[in-house]
A and B are shown apart, each in its own frame.
Chain A
Amino acid sequence: MTTPAPTSGRTFFLRRQDMIGIAILAVLLMVVLPLTLDNFRLQFVGKYLTYAFVALGLALCWGYAGILSLGQGVFFGLGGYCMAMFLKLEASSVENTKIQTTPGIPDFMDWNQITALPWFWEPFRSFGFTTLAVVAVPALFALIIGFALFKRRVGGVYFAIITQALAAIMTILIIGQQGYTGGINGITDLRTLHGWDIRTDSAKTILYFVCVGLLIACILLAYYVKSSKLGRLLVAMRDKEDRVRFSGYDVSSFKIFVFCLAASLSAIGGAMFTLQVGFMSPSFVGIVPSIEMVIYTAVGGRLSILGAVYGTLVVNWAKTSFSESFPELWLFGLGGLFIAVVLIFPNGLAGLWQTYVAPRLGPLFGGQARRAAPPPASEPVAPAVAE
């Protein structure tokens, strides 16, 4: 079992180096990148950051609680689709769709001979409901899955396989029900949010900052969960589940909670993705994107909350620049990167940082807490390094 770092150097729920880490990330995202990148590249970063929400959820769910979900794309997609439904309804005003057989419904419904808006689309006319649904629908879905599986003590590899199957099922469902979901094309051509044109450069810049703000808030939430008693129980569960159970804790409830939390975080990312990119499609829901999201977390270091964010940025940046430079070879480069991560630094960027960089920078980075105790014990993540 891990003991928390001594209370010295800890304010509220953050250790000093955590605060510095978050502050550096905030400055990087809020000041450095907007000043150094042009609008076009900044919008890419905004898009990458929406995946960081998923990676954040995975760091909690997988890194800390040991529950590997290969279906986070499902929740990303649910959040994204909720937002897309709202935006699509706004874009499908009677005026915009007057060439259709049935004006006033989304264009893809009209192509599929649907003549009235399905009942489950109706509530998405309300922005309040949509915002709630973005967080609640995936959480509810995760609750049902979590309840069904964790209560029966399904875990480990079996859980991972089932979540992967879910991702496949969800994709097939969305593609098959194209009259209601837009099918494989997804929900495209989203235009305005309450009359505010989200396609303009200025709107995208504003959305970028909203996205960064939300991400920082979610990071703080993740740190809060991590440092709470619950967080320590999660780590304990990961390392010796039976012992926690024999101590009288209801292990499955904690697992359900962290799975739901990761689902909601992913969904917030999905909703921000839809807003910034302007469409949502089943290609984010399936197995491949879900696994990619696990890779982001692995590259960043699954035991580090901030690492997950950096991992997402680095992998996506590499993906974009490799593919621009070598359109026919880039996948090999990316594959090489992943193999290198697994073989050479299994704890990802965060592991590299902690092993090589942080010890040198220790004093500069207010490493009092770090210095106060011997390095392995000061990090809650340390036990797993040995894995």
Chain B
Amino acid sequence: MSSHNDGSDNFSSTRRRLLKGLAALPAAPLLSSTALFSSQAFAQAPATSAVNTTGLAVTDTEVTVGILHSVTGTMAISETGSVQAEKLAIEQINAMGGVLGRKIKFIQEDGASDWPTFAEKAKKLLVNDKVAAVMGCWTSASRKAVLPVFEQYNGMLYYPTFYEGLEQSKNVIYTGQEATQQILAGLDWVNKTKGAKSFYLIGSDYIWPRTSMKIARKHIEAHLGGKVAGEEYFPLGHTQFNSVINKIKLTKPDVIYCAVVGGSNVAFYKQLKAAGIDLNKQTLLTISVTEDEIDGIGGDNIAGAYSCMKYFQSLDNPNNKDFVAAFKKMWGEKTVIGDVTQAAYLGPWLWKMTVEKAGSFDVDKIAEASPGIEFTKAPEGYVKIHPNHHLWSKTRVGQAQLDGQFKVVFETPDLIEPDPFPKGYQ
């Protein structure tokens, strides 16, 4: 349908802006093998029949991928960053010669914050458009809705959000952290540096916070010798946290451990502040607040709190500097980049490298070739795909600042192995 035109219109207008931005970028050595702008690269491209044996949308000059996020509805505020990051990555890859000599064209679909719509659009992308890969989804619910579609029609999904684990699929590459990667190192850190022994667990009521808290509780009780002072869940969108704040005041936990998501965050931190809890004195560690959320919460309401993520916009390394500069050039000075946005940026790059390693766009070959793929130019530093299709990555703790950015106060020395089915934590 005309979405093709729509996608490519977007594409060329943004490309112009991007190319300007790219001029400032140092050439990525990793990509030097295909980093030719000239048509020579296309001439060298391997024959389509050889690299595409399953009828995907691959021509001699182009390959089509899908972008499937919510750009309308309640999730739009979170997912927009992912869309922007994916478009940026695609632009950069194209500017460097594309994938196997083919330009990446994308078809964007709107999941509309509605899980069945995600399933419908996933099917459309795979069956109708025959896209070679899909970058998309955000919430666990949307992933769960599309997963059977990807498995049935043998598609490839690059999923960017940190999530609860307990899942592994041939058809998905999880570019965010699974729960143990994000949680354990942060708890160890707060235990060691703050001597924290008692924890109050608060989360939104759905699968990700509940699974995360289950893992956190096991770790606190079995490995840190601490105790859980309280554990409470609130419906999504909940805005009245006064009763739990009173309980926190009564139990005086060493750490408030928090996985409240979305709009509830704004109410939660404002009410904490109004209740006189100073986050510079009361340690609060969250696994659900990135720079994007602080945009809504307001830096002065959350300053002092700690957040445990794999990426912060303030990370000090050359890859990240380039990434932040290119992102702002393309999407405006005021945009902020959160953990998931960075993870979404990895998707197209990892896919490109996997295609080149496999020498094919075939989904089966990509699934097989994925383990071991390394991305040294990742803004978060260095990542590598594990045989379980998750990423090896570092975990970091940042402290929220008044300006809405995080100051990185801790970083694990080594990459943490992804363990979606953790033994002893279930």
Closest B-chain residue to A39, C-beta based?
Answer: B127
Closest A-chain residue to B166, C-beta based?
Answer: A111
With contacts A175-B236, A185-B140, A277-B119 known, is A327 near B145, CB below 8 A?
Answer: no
Whether A189 pairs with B148 at a CB distance below 8 angstroms is yes
Closest A-chain residue to B71, C-beta based?
Answer: A328
**Contacting residues, chain B, for A44 (C-beta < 8 A):** 120
Whether B207 pairs with A324 at a CB distance below 8 angstroms is no
Whether A185 pairs with B206 at a CB distance below 8 angstroms is yes
Whether A188 pairs with B147 at a CB distance below 8 angstroms is yes
Whether A284 pairs with B140 at a CB distance below 8 angstroms is no
Closest chain B CB from A318 CB (angstroms): 13
Q: Is B144 an interface residue (CB 8 A)?
A: yes
Whether B110 pairs with A178 at a CB distance below 8 angstroms is no
Q: Is B123 an interface residue (CB 8 A)?
A: yes
In chain A, positions 317-346 with a C-beta closer than 8 Å to chain B are: 320-321, 323-328, 330-331
Whether B426 pairs with A178 at a CB distance below 8 angstroms is no
Whether B124 pairs with A40 at a CB distance below 8 angstroms is yes
**Contacting residues, chain B, for A279 (C-beta < 8 A):** 115-116, 119, 144-145, 148
Q: Which one of B109, B114, B116, B124 has the greatest number of beta carbons of chain A within 10 Å? A: B116
**Contacting residues, chain A, for B124 (C-beta < 8 A):** 40, 324
Query: What sequence of 0s and 1s flags, for each residue 111-139 of chain A, a beta carbon within 8 Å of any chain B beta carbon?
Result: 11100000000000000000000000000
Q: Is A297 an interface residue (CB 8 A)?
A: no
**Contacting residues, chain B, for A284 (C-beta < 8 A):** 116
Q: Which one of A113, A279, A324, A330 has the greatest number of beta carbons of chain B within 10 Å? A: A324
With contacts A176-B205, A199-B148, A330-B110 known, is A325 near B1, CB below 8 A?
Answer: yes
**Contacting residues, chain A, for B127 (C-beta < 8 A):** 40
Q: Is B321 an interface residue (CB 8 A)?
A: no
Query: What sequence of 0s and 1s flags, for each residue 130-155 of chain B, a beta carbon within 8 Å of any chain A beta carbon?
Result: 00000000001100110110001000
- Give chain A's interface secondary structure class: helix
**Contacting residues, chain A, for B236 (C-beta < 8 A):** 175, 184
In Å, the complex CA distance between A279 and B116 comes to 8
In Å, the complex CA distance between A184 and B144 comes to 10
Closest chain B CB from A366 CB (angstroms): 38
Q: Which one of A40, A184, A189 has the greatest number of beta carbons of chain B within 10 Å? A: A184
Query: What sequence of 0s and 1s flags, for each residue 82-120 of chain B, a beta carbon within 8 Å of any chain A beta carbon?
Result: 000000000000000000000000001110101111011
With contacts A199-B152, A283-B115, A324-B3 known, is A185 near B144, CB below 8 A?
Answer: yes
Q: Is A34 an interface residue (CB 8 A)?
A: no
Whether A185 pairs with B207 at a CB distance below 8 angstroms is yes
Q: Which one of A185, A281, A331 has the greatest number of beta carbons of chain B within 10 Å? A: A185
Q: Is A354 an interface residue (CB 8 A)?
A: no
In chain A, positions 218-245 with a C-beta closer than 8 Å to chain B are: none
Closest chain B CB from A276 CB (angstroms): 11
**Contacting residues, chain B, for A185 (C-beta < 8 A):** 115, 140-141, 144-145, 206-207
Closest chain B CB from A291 CB (angstroms): 14
In chain B, positions 1-50 with a C-beta closer than 8 Å to chain A are: 1-3, 6
In chain B, positions 172-212 with a C-beta closer than 8 Å to chain A are: 205-207, 210-211
**Contacting residues, chain A, for B214 (C-beta < 8 A):** 113
Whether B141 pairs with A281 at a CB distance below 8 angstroms is yes
Set A43, A112, A199, A324: member contacting B210, Cβ < 8 A: A112
In Å, the complex CA distance between A324 and B121 comes to 8
Q: Is A13 an interface residue (CB 8 A)?
A: no
Whether A184 pairs with B110 at a CB distance below 8 angstroms is no
With contacts A108-B207, A113-B214, A176-B235 known, is A324 near B109, CB below 8 A?
Answer: yes
**Contacting residues, chain B, for A9 (C-beta < 8 A):** none
Q: Is B241 an interface residue (CB 8 A)?
A: no
In Å, the complex CA distance between A40 and B130 comes to 12
Q: Is B280 an interface residue (CB 8 A)?
A: no
Q: Is B375 an interface residue (CB 8 A)?
A: no
**Contacting residues, chain B, for A326 (C-beta < 8 A):** 6
Closest chain A CB from B10 CB (angstroms): 9
Q: Is B376 an interface residue (CB 8 A)?
A: no
Q: Is B54 an interface residue (CB 8 A)?
A: no
Q: Is B251 an interface residue (CB 8 A)?
A: no
Whether A278 pairs with B110 at a CB distance below 8 angstroms is no
Closest B-chain residue to A101, C-beta based?
Answer: B426
Q: Is A172 an interface residue (CB 8 A)?
A: yes
Whether B2 pairs with A325 at a CB distance below 8 angstroms is yes
In Å, the complex CA distance between A188 and B169 comes to 15
**Contacting residues, chain B, for A324 (C-beta < 8 A):** 1-3, 109, 124
Whether A281 pairs with B109 at a CB distance below 8 angstroms is no
**Contacting residues, chain A, for B382 (C-beta < 8 A):** none
Whether B120 pairs with A320 at a CB distance below 8 angstroms is yes
Q: Is A183 an interface residue (CB 8 A)?
A: yes
**Contacting residues, chain A, for B6 (C-beta < 8 A):** 325-327
With contacts A183-B206, A321-B1, A326-B6 known, is A188 near B144, CB below 8 A?
Answer: yes
Whether A323 pairs with B109 at a CB distance below 8 angstroms is yes
Whether A40 pairs with B128 at a CB distance below 8 angstroms is yes
**Contacting residues, chain A, for B421 (C-beta < 8 A):** 99
Closest chain B CB from A200 CB (angstroms): 8
Set A176, A184, A321, A323: member contacting B207, Cβ < 8 A: A184
**Contacting residues, chain B, for A331 (C-beta < 8 A):** 72, 112
Closest chain B CB from A167 CB (angstroms): 15
Q: Is A47 an interface residue (CB 8 A)?
A: yes
**Contacting residues, chain B, for A362 (C-beta < 8 A):** none
**Contacting residues, chain A, for B207 (C-beta < 8 A):** 108, 111, 178, 183-185
In Å, the complex CA distance between A19 and B235 comes to 49
Whether B205 pairs with A183 at a CB distance below 8 angstroms is yes
In Å, the complex CA distance between A175 and B140 comes to 14
**Contacting residues, chain B, for A367 (C-beta < 8 A):** none
Q: Is A186 an interface residue (CB 8 A)?
A: yes
**Contacting residues, chain A, for B123 (C-beta < 8 A):** 40, 43
Closest chain B CB from A162 CB (angstroms): 20
10 CB < 8 A contacts A-B: A44-B120, A175-B235, A178-B206, A184-B141, A185-B141, A279-B145, A279-B148, A324-B124, A327-B110, A331-B112
19 extra interchain contacts, Cβ-Cβ under 8 A, other than A324-B109, A327-B3? A40-B123, A175-B205, A175-B236, A178-B207, A185-B145, A188-B147, A188-B148, A189-B148, A279-B115, A279-B145, A281-B141, A281-B145, A321-B1, A323-B109, A323-B112, A324-B124, A325-B1, A328-B71, A330-B72
* Nearest 9 Cβ contacts at the A-B interface: A327-B110, A185-B141, A184-B206, A188-B144, A40-B127, A185-B144, A325-B2, A324-B3, A324-B1
